Structure formats: structure tokens, C-alpha cells
Amino acid sequence: MATEYDLWKIFPKMPKKVMIGDITIRDGFQHEEKFISTAAKIYYAQEMILAGAREIEITNLGNPAGIPQFRDADQVFAAMRSDSFKKRCERAGVKYDDVVMTAVTIREPAVDRAIELKEKGIGPDRILMMVSTDPEHHFANSGTTLSVYWKEAERCIKKARDKGIKMCGTVSTIWGSPISGATKLEDAVEFTKRWFSIGAHDIEHADHDGSASAAAVYRYFSMILDAMPNPEAHLCHLHETKRVASASVLAALQAGITRFEGTLGGLGGQPANFLDDCPVRGTGEYYYEDPRYVGLICLEDLLVMIDELGIEHGFDVDRVLLLGRRMEKTCGRRLRSEAVINGRTLKEGHTKFGRPGLKQLIEKLGEKPGQKVPSDWTPESVLPPKWGPEDPIWKK
């Protein structure tokens, strides 16, 4: 039987088009230990939309006492809803109404705040609440039990829906917890069903500490799509702590997932417990040995990978790479993207690196243009009966 070489025939569920969301200015900046200016947040949010993002997280509406990085949430949203930005989008050919702007609202007071902003005309289209399949991790993030939180989420979904705001239900610690260790995939499938049963619009399936492996990601998303087979309802959220998340992205694609998200420079991680010169609450002590080497999957590298797979994504890749380079200046350090340094794989190559004189040498030797083997060789190779390791000459 001949081997099938077409990846889409081997994995018929793999999409030809994906949606990649940008969550830099929320999840990315929440781990930064210096305050990122309001102007910078607005700049990157608007520029990423102009570069192609159609799903974008704007801020966290939780209590600024715990997450002071987002004390400017109202100002950022006001700028994103401004007439001037809408006109920029129109001039650039971007359909402003196609952009979904999300705010994280872990607890009910934040949901109420999102509704207030919506009533003022500057609020989010979509909000996000989160459960973890590990009760310890859930308590660390929310301060309450899962049972209490589920009832709170049910109330919040109803009040948000009444105001036309979508609710994304996040399921976390799917592939493991930084606190309690191994978890069960079946629990995450059940939690996903629970979210839909109480009215959630879509689900973010989250690996928050880099626990996921490609095999487990493929298995999990296959389980999800077997049980709830609408790819638009599911979003893959992966963190990068061991440089293996790109394999997990490919596994998720092969399972049929069409929605992903990342951050410029691979920024992000646990909410910072220090800001500028002052300790803050955050979510307590960091889970990581070295908090520099954590974060989400790098959006620039993810986008280049998707682009070179031939999958449609809707971004101006070069513009995103430029923003990635600028983000390094904003953060004041080298970030985790390789693509912003090495760029894309260009089909036309880099001819400036060619050694001069090949054309003249070909003419001097009388070779034909494009000739790659001696002219007296057969047009195609003929393997000997015994070759490589089986050739007797190599036997001891």
C-alpha cells in the first residue's frame, strides 16, 4: 500500500482556516512586574486589530487592588470604542463590528462592572469566567469552592445575556495542575458540558502551566469534538514552559480545533505579585522556578507556523512581526519569539547571500542551466539490490 502524503487526507478534521485571537494586553501584561502605560495598551490593541485580529482580550475587570496592571481598564475600553478608532478601521478596510472584544471577569462584581461599561457604550462584547478541574487551583484563582462558583457563574451568564454580552467559560488545569498535579481529561469534558448547560457561548480550553503534551491534547480535543462537535464553540489556550506547545497546536489542529490564541513575545503567565516598586496580591506566590520562562504560546511564531502550513488566518504576518519587535522595546527586554528575529521562510529565498560566479562557472563547464547531476548519469537514480546498511562492504 502506498503511503498517503497529504496531511489533510491523513487528518481529515484538520481545518484549512483558523481564527487566532490576541490576548497580549490582558493575559500577556498581567505577568509583567512593571506598569505598561495606558497608551501602550491602546496602541497594541488597536494595531493588532488593524493587523488582522478579530478576537482580542482588552483587560481584566477584577479589583485593581489585586491586579493593578489593569487599573486603566475604563480608559482602554473607551479608546477601543472611540469614533476615531472606528474611522481608522473603516479607512483600513476593517469591519469594526466583526471584532469581538473580551474582558476577563473572574467574579460577579467584575461581571457587574462589565455590564455598567456596556450600558455606557464602551463595554465588552464578551466576558470570561473560569473554573479549574483542580479544586485547589480553582480556589487560588477565585477564592471560593467550585460548587459556589458554578452557581455564581449561572447567575452571571443570565445577567450578561440580558445585556447582550456573551460569556466564555474557561476550563483550566485540563492537562495537569501546578498545585495538585495530574488531572483527568474526563473531568474537563464534563466541565465543558456544564458550561454549555448554564448558557455559556463558547469555551476556552486552557493549559495554564505548560502541562499539555501533543498526544494528550489530541486525545482531549478529539473527546471534546466527539461530545460537542462544533469547532466554533471551542478555543485552544496553551502556555509555553518547555518549548513543546507548537507540537500541541499541531495536535489540536489534527483533532479539528479551529480557534487559538496567543500573546506577542509569548508574554503572560500568573498575575504579577509585584508591580513597579511595590508587592501586590496577585494570586500569591508564583508556581514557577523562574517566572521569566513562562507565558502563552508566542503569537508571532504560532502565526508563522500556521501560515507556512498553508492554513488561512487573516493576518498581515509581517505587520505582526513588526509589532513583536516593538513589544520588546515596550517591555525592555528580549522576548520569546524566534520569528521576530529570523522572520518567515521566504519562497523566493535570500538571493543576497548567494556566492557570485555560479552562472559563469556553469557556462565555462558547458553545463545546462538547472543541471544537478553529471550529464552521463541516468535521469533517475537506480538503487542497487543491496544498499546502505545491507551493502556487504559495510559488514564487519
Distance CA 264, CA 335 (A): 9
CA dihedral 67, 69, 75, 78 (to 10 degrees): -80
Give, in order, the Cα–Cα distances in Å from 347 to each of 66, 308, 344.
48, 10, 9
- Write down the pLDDT at residue 215: 97
User: At 26, is the secondary structure helix, strand, or coil?
Assistant: helix
- Write down the pLDDT at residue 5: 94
To the question of pTM greater than 0.85 for the whole model, the response is yes
Distance CA 250, CA 264 (A): 19
Q: With a cut of 50, which residues of the chain have pLDDT below it?
A: none
Give, in order, the Cα–Cα distances in Å from 351 to each of 304, 343, 361.
21, 15, 18
Q: Which amino acid is at 137?
A: H
**Angle at the Cα of 297 from the Cα atoms of 291 and 298, rounded to 5 degrees:** 95
User: At 180, is the secondary structure helix, strand, or coil?
Assistant: coil
**Lookup: cell for 165:** 454580552
Residue with cell 466564555: 168
Helices (H), the chain: 7-10, 38-50, 73-80, 83-91, 108-119, 135-142, 146-162, 185-197, 214-227, 245-255, 299-308, 317-331, 339-342, 358-365
Distance CA 50, CA 88 (A): 9
Secondary structure (DSSP) of 50-78? HTT-SEEEEEE-S-TTT-GGGTTHHHHHH
- Write down the pLDDT at residue 349: 85
CB atoms within 10 A of CB 355: 5
* 160 CB-contact burial (10 Å; exposed 0-12 / middle 13-18 / buried 19+): buried
Residue with cell 470604542: 81
- CATH number given to 10-342: 3.20.20.70
Q: What are phi and psi of 195, to 5 degrees?
A: -60, -50
- Write down the pLDDT at residue 293: 82
The domain spans of the chain are 10-342
